[in-house]
Structure 1
């Protein structure tokens, strides 16, 4: 397969994964997903399995369970039945069986274990675009500093971006990804100085490290031609809870944790299916000597 064909293949499959994540609350057929990808329904299942390393059904089930697990961990008021229905399961019983098979614990016991260990919903949803490596074994280390976190409810417009994706563990490798892959690509395409986004598509507390997807994105109009075969997408608009973070990399996980564990349950809002986003405006400061940086931590919310 030549480079151009490989890029088109990847682009179509990325579109399918995005479609799945946005429609986990309803049934998704192979025929529908094949149509999204513009591939033959007859061959799509085999192609998807070869590309993802798991069947369509296994992938959809895993994403439903991971999304439900994140909801249970971050929203104490959500019942097991509510989490099950929101994730596309027809009953709490079917959800509980699938959940226990995947995570090793029933949903209620798993939620209790998360609360006791203080892991929370976003142990390290961090990108650090163009910054030192991030990733923390104890996201609660700096939690007390953010007990009175300041949050604004912001209506954000959809944003067209070009992105490079990394699949694998979050943490230090993301800093290297920005520095060694993304920054040179941005420089080659004269993209330095434009708004950037770190988009974590999976929750590292529930998704296996090798399956975590991360997009390093730059805001560009869709018609702009770029070298390097980046993917294109739209960062969803809508309502976000935004915390304007300023501090060293060691504190960002504590800020994310405070947003989800402390602020969200008392807000009267809940998470929806859009991804968490770190927005780096063009004027966002970064001090390489101290590691202090600025970013907008954008958590997608909707009415409870």
Structure 2
């Protein structure tokens, strides 16, 4: 195995903590236990976390809980407010409502009503212009698929989606894939934040490639496992100005009537080896994968 340099080891530990937080928002996330996960003392871990991510551990956890809750309020309009609160780690409706209003300026109920009523006009904060005519995402075929766990190597990205993210794939990810002989492998775009809720500069995304568990390559990459289980998979074909609309349709139109609900696994786009890409029009194919469980 290639030995990591000191900075790469720090990055691996900190990203391990982020993954643990994102997949356990309904659990107690104490400083001491997260510090142990990162193999740092609590005192040093707290300072390191703030230095790496620009917000304290407490601020990050609270923001993630509230933004995930906001997403679930929209995607699951029949889910009780208390259940939304519990699913992201709040112990009561009252505590959740206070924190939510402090973050979004309104109550969870009012947020849900406003977002659902305006969902057809809801526009993400992507750095992209809307398509001249909305794609008919109602014709996008959605199936429930049981996926196996998948080992991936990924390069993390933080910032606006849209053109900046496309440039990251072309200028950073593609050369790294070529260096490591990864062309011809399935790729994944793992979105950790909803661009319609989180600030553009806080959006986190992992550009991932399927690799063997024992993969040891060049570059400052991280390793993870995409969890297996049930996913709602939508077959998408279009441009990067339409894929955001497709995500919104799946989460805000298809999901509420599907008999399924979200869980804590990550959302991602799957780019199979045979997926097409038209360099002239920018049209591409992918599978939009949303982790679900029965209601």
- If the length of structure 2 is used for normalisation, what is the TM-score? 0.93
1:284 lines up with 2:275 in the alignment: yes
Retained in 2: the 8 A contact 1:49–1:56?
yes
Aligned residue in 1 for 2:289: 298
**1:249-269 Cα distance to aligned partner (Å, 9 max, x none):** 333222222211221111110
* 1:39 Cα deviation from its structure 2 partner: 1.1
Root-mean-square deviation (CA), in Å? 2.0
Q: Which moved more, 1:62-71 or 1:49-58?
A: 49-58
- Counterpart of 1:46 in structure 2 is 47
User: 1:264 is matched with which residue: 255, 258, 261?
Assistant: 255
Q: Deviations over 1:219-262 (max 9, x none)?
A: 11131221112111111111001111122333322222221122
Deviation of the 1:40 alpha carbon: 1.5
Closer/same/farther in 2, CA of residues 248 and 51 from structure 1, 3 Å limit? closer
Match of 1:218 among 209, 216, 226: 209
Deviations 1:152-174 (A, max 9, x none): 11000111111001111111101
Partner of 1:88: 89
With over 3 angstroms needed to count, the CA separation of the structure-2 counterparts of 1:9 and 1:21, relative to structure 1, is same
CA distance in 1, matches of 2:251, 2:79: 14
Secondary structure at the residue paired with 2:242? helix
Tell me if structure 2 keeps the 8 A contact 1:45–1:56: yes
CA distances 1:256-286 after superposition (whole Å, capped 9, x unpaired) = 2221122111111001111211001111111
> What's the counterpart of residue 110 of structure 2?
109
Q: Structure 2 CA distance, aligned partners of 1:138 and 1:246?
A: 16
Match of 1:240 in 2: 231
Q: For 1:279, what is the secondary structure of its paired residue?
A: strand
Taking the aligned partners of 1:30 and 1:213, their CA distance within structure 2 comes to 22
Q: Distance in 2 between matches of 1:235 and 1:253?
A: 22
Distance in 2 of aligned mates of 1:217 and 1:279: 10
- Measured in 2, the distance between the counterparts of 1:79 and 1:192 equals 45
Partner residue of 1:129?
none
**Equivalences for 1:178-217 in 2 at 5 Å?**
178-217=169-208
Please report how far the alpha carbon of residue 119 of structure 1 lies from its aligned counterpart in structure 2 after TM superposition.
6.5
Alpha-carbon offset, residue 92 of structure 1: 0.7
Structure 2 gap ranges (5+): none
Taking the aligned partners of 2:211 and 2:122, their CA distance within structure 1 comes to: 30
